[in-house]
Amino acid sequence: MRGASVSLTDLTKTYARSTAVAGVSLDICSGEFLTLLGPSGSGKTTTLMMIAGFEVPSTGDIAIDGVSVVEKAPYHRNIGMVFQNYALFPHMTVAQNIGFPLKQRGVPKAERARLVGEALEMVRLPGYGARYPRQLSGGQQQRVAVARAIVFKPRLLLMDEPLGALDKQLRETLQFEMRRLHADLGITFIYVTHDQEEALTMSDRVAVMNEGKIAQVGRPEDLYDRPCDRFVAGFIGESNFLPAVVCGLEDGVVVAECNGVLVRAVSSVRPATGSKVTLTTRPERLRFADTPDESESGVNRMSVTVGEAVFAGERCRFVLKTNDGTTMVLKEPSSAAIRRRAVGERTEIAWSVADTVLV
Under the banding of pLDDT at 50, 70 and 90, the label for residue 1 is low
Structure confidence by residue, pLDDT tens digits, 179-210 = 999 999 999 999 999 999 999 999 999 999 99
Q: How far is Cα 57 from Cα 50, in angstroms, rounded to an integer? A: 6
Q: What is the model's pLDDT at position 315?
A: 85
Of the candidate CATH numbers 3.40.50.300, 3.30.750.210, 3.30.1360.120, 3.90.1170.40, the domain formed by 6-233 belongs to 3.40.50.300
Whether pTM > 0.85 for this model: the answer is yes
- End-to-end distance of the chain based on CA atoms, in angstroms? 41
In angstroms, the CA 257 to CA 253 distance is 13
Confidence of residue 306 (pLDDT cuts 50, 70, 90): very high
Q: Is 153 left (phi over 0), alpha (psi -120 to 50) or beta?
A: left
Mean predicted confidence (pLDDT) in 228-250 = 93
pLDDT score recorded for residue 2: 85
Per mean pLDDT, which range of 151-155, 179-183, 311-315, 316-320 is the poorest? 311-315
Distance CA 270, CA 282 (A): 22
pLDDT band at 86 (very low <50, low <70, confident <90, very high): confident
Q: Other C-beta atoms within 10 Å of 134: how many?
A: 8
* Residue 285 confidence (pLDDT) above 90: yes
pLDDT at 63 over 70: yes
Label residue 296 by pLDDT band (50, 70, 90).
Answer: low
Residue 62 one-letter amino acid: I
Question: How high does pLDDT run on average in the chain?
Answer: 91
Mean pLDDT of 268-296: 85
Reply yes or no on whether the pLDDT at 116 is more than 60: yes
Sorted by sequence, the CB contacts under 8 Å of residue 330 that are 6+ apart come out as 283, 286, 287, 288, 317, 318, 320, 349
CA dist 62 to 9, 13, 28, Å? Answer: 7, 13, 11
pLDDT surpasses 70 at 248: yes
- In the structure, what pLDDT confidence band is assigned to residue 83 with cuts at 50, 70 and 90? confident
Rounded to whole angstroms, how far apart are CA atoms 294 and 150? Answer: 60
Q: Which of 268-272, 292-296, 315-319 has the lowest mean pLDDT?
A: 292-296
Domain with CATH 3.40.50.300 in the chain: 6-233
**Beta pairing class for 315-321 and 299-312:** antiparallel
pLDDT at 291 over 70: no
Q: Are strands 357-358 and 156-160 parallel, antiparallel or unpaired?
A: unpaired
Q: Is 35 or 83 the better-scoring residue by pLDDT?
A: 35
Q: What is the pLDDT of residue 85?
A: 83
HEC secondary structure over the chain: CCCCCEEEEEEEEECCCCEEEEEEEEEECCCCEEEEECCCCCCHHHHHHHHHCCCCCCEEEEEECCEECCCCCHHHCCCEEECCCCCCCCCCCHHHHHHHHHHHCCCCHHHHHHHHHHHHHHCCCCCCCCCCHHHCCHHHHHHHHHHHHHCCCCCEEEEECCCCCCCHHHHHHHHHHHHHHHHHHCCEEEEEECCHHHHHHHCCEEEEEECCEEEEEECHHHHHHCCCCHHHHHHCCCCEEEEEEEEEEECCEEEEEECCEEEEEECCCCCCCCCEEEEEECHHHCEECCCCCCCCCCEEEEEEEEEEEEEECCEEEEEEECCCCCEEEEEEECCCCCCCCCCCCEEEEEEEHHHCEEC
Q: What is the pLDDT of residue 279?
A: 96
What's the pLDDT at 295?
Answer: 53
Residue 335 has pLDDT above 60, yes or no: yes
Q: CATH 2.40.50.140 spans which residues of the chain?
A: 238-358
- How far from 130 is each of 49, 134, 135, CA to CA, in Å? 32, 12, 10
Q: Any residues with CB less than 8 A from the CB of 305 and at least 6 apart, and which? A: 320, 321, 344, 345, 346, 347
Residue of 42, 152, 162 whose CA lies nearest to 100: 152
Q: Could you read off the pLDDT of 127-158 as tens digits, one per residue?
A: 999 999 999 988 899 999 999 999 999 999 99
Rounding to the nearest 10 degrees, give the CA dihedral for residues 177, 196, 64, 146: 30
- Label residue 336 by pLDDT band (50, 70, 90): low
Q: Which CATH number fits domain 238-358: 1.10.260.40, 2.40.50.140, 1.10.1040.10, 2.40.30.20?
A: 2.40.50.140
Q: What is the pLDDT of residue 186?
A: 92
